[in-house]
Amino acid sequence: MINEKQIKDKLYEEFIRPTDKEKNFIGVEIEIPIVNLDKKAVDFNVVHEVTYKFKKEFGDFKNDGIDYDGNVYSIKNDKNDDIVCYDCSYNNIEFAMGREKDLFSINDRFNEYYTFTKECFEEHNHTLTGMGINPYRKYNNHIPIASERYLMLYHHLQSTEAYENIQFHDYPEYGMFSSASQVQLDVSKEKLVQTINVFSKIEPVKALLFSNSVLIDDNDKFICFRDVLWEYSTHGVNPHNIGMYDVELKDINDLQAYLESLNMYCVMRDGSYINFPSMNLLDYFRQETIIGEKYCNGKYKKVTIKPELDDINYLRPFKFINLTFRGTVEFRSVCTQPINESMSVAAFHLGLKDKLDELDEIITNDTSLYHKGYTAGELRKLLIQSEIPPVIDKNEVCRLSKSIVDLASEGLKERGLGEEIFLNPLYERIKKQTNPAREMIKLLNNKNNIEEIIENYGNI
């Protein structure tokens, strides 16, 4: 049987050791809803045609993923590591930009890819838009991409009956209509714990600045419904696997212990994913055998596996701040933004990355949001709601937000590349005391039609 020291050593090697190398790259991933303007389901034949045209236009992209039906769902440019793929279903396209030293290089390529792709979709009265939840989700066919990973993922999200006394929402298909804007930054091992601690504290401010997930027609209580979708799904069976860190880490040992507290729900054997009920990592390795399910010819069948140390490679938490196997820190709590403001997310995190002491001091001295008897996690839950509670003064919180964005701007200015320009949309939001979700709700309440909003949020 695998002992705990072996598990601890493997976790360290996979998640913490890679941060030893001195690097300073930026990675950006932007998921974007596909919308059929005929108010019908996204036509997957159109999606496949657009993929073909994209490959033809940008000749360096090669097939990187083909589903069981022979359709291409991922293409990659090996020269710069850019990937264009479909996330969970063919209702959601993702532009995963290869790592770069500056935001302008990423932005230029993203704009080129996005403009071409959007024009191709518009030839078929489809379009792309910058929202965290597909505004036409109710028209779509929520069918997972027929690949090992996405069939496994959907099967896991549907397996609510495996758990007792846990409250789940009614949207196991949420990965097919929700979209995020994610940033990966290189963080040294020495700064790892401080980065997680300090950035965790500003998640409430990020909710104020970036919320853009409105569940139109179904729920008007939240402006970042993505948080709810993750928390009340099977990913949230163990709260440590999603959302915020609810403890302040003291050192790498604390971080290591946190990793050990996470749950696993899948592994691979012979090229096939095996699902099993979510269980603690250490408990998994204490078992002689595990009974799971694997997809085979359209059905799921029971299989028995024996835990192997390399199964740690399939540990996949979905926290707001994640450690990756690449030695990066991934920030993943932000909704997809209006397209012409996409780089504001990366600029915000990049600008603050080397300003941790100053950022912590701002939070320590603040009384407009913090030090009111609420944890950062509780504040985040309050601030993703449509109505800001009376205990919070909007004017004071906007001043706090501005001081944090000012600090991000200072960090970017010190890089000397002019990247602080990407923060301009955040200053506008602070000035108007709004964010994309609140703006959308205001427009809808003023009888603007959703088609106009889809167009505006999709413009580059």
Q: pTM to 2 decimals?
A: 0.97
Residue 333's pLDDT is 98
Map out the domains of the chain with their CATH numbers.
Answer: 24-243+318-458 (3.30.590.20)
What pLDDT does 257 receive?
96
What integer pLDDT is reported at residue 297 of this predicted model? 83
Q: What does the pLDDT read at residue 246?
A: 84
pLDDT of residue 1: 77
Please give the pLDDT value at position 299.
Answer: 87
Annotate the chain with three-state secondary structure: CCCHHHHHHHHHHHHHHHHHCCCCCEEEEEEEEEEECCCCCCCHHHHHHHHHHHHHHCCCEEEEEECCCCCEEEEEECCCCEEEEECCCCCEEEEEEEEECCHHHHHHHHHHHHHHHHHHHHCCCEEECCCCECCCHHHCCCCCCCCHHHHHHHHHHHHHHHCCCCCCCCCCCHHHCECEEEEEEECCHHHHHHHHHHHHHCHHHHHHHHCCECECCCECCECEHHHHHHHCCHHHCCHHHEECCCCCCCCHHHHHHHHHCCEEEEEEECCEEEEEEEEEHHHHHHCCCEEEEEEECCEEEEEEECCCHHHHHHCCCEECEEECCCCEEEECCCECCCHHHCHHHHHHHHHHHCCHHHHHHHHHHCCCCCCCCCCHHHHHHHHCECCCCCCCCHHHHHHHHHHHHHHHHHHHHHHCCCHHHHHHHHHHHHHHCCCHHHHHHHHHHCCCCHHHHHHHHHCC
- List of the chain residues with pLDDT < 50: none
| pLDDT score at 397 | 96
